[in-house]
Amino acid sequence: MSAATAVREAAEEVGVLIEAADLIHVHTIHVNGSGREPRLGLFFATHHWTGEPANREPDKCFKLAWFALDDLPEQIIDYPAAGIAAYRTGSTFSIRGWTPPSSTQRAAIS
């Protein structure tokens, strides 16, 4: 995903227009177990957009609402919650769902 992809997804999913130059990459998470395949989740922040956010994908999303970052709902998908938590602490990279290598595997890598 690039900033251009994030711009496109924001328009498709919540109906807002964002300039790629207004996006700031804040976190990357390497996730295993969140879907059929491992993935990289890229998190961007912005303070500028045009349009009123609306749920443009009601078949995929129950509702759209604003929440303070320190008061998120309890039922939030695990890896976005981890990405948001990392953003709040200033961490730019994290790993989730991967089994740590055994000592034998670590020795083979060294």
| Averaged pLDDT, groups of 10, the chain, 110 residues long | 90 97 96 86 96 95 90 89 95 90 63
How many angstroms separate the CA atoms of 52 and 38, rounded?
33
Name the amino acid, one letter, at 110. S
Does pTM top 0.85 for this prediction?
Answer: no
Give dist(CA 80, CA 93) in Å, integer: 13
Res 107: pLDDT: 63
Domain layout of the chain by residue ranges: 3-109
3.60.70.12, 3.40.50.300, 1.10.3720.10, 3.90.79.10: which CATH number matches 3-109?
3.90.79.10
The pLDDT of residue 27 is 97
Given this model, what pLDDT does residue 33 score? 82
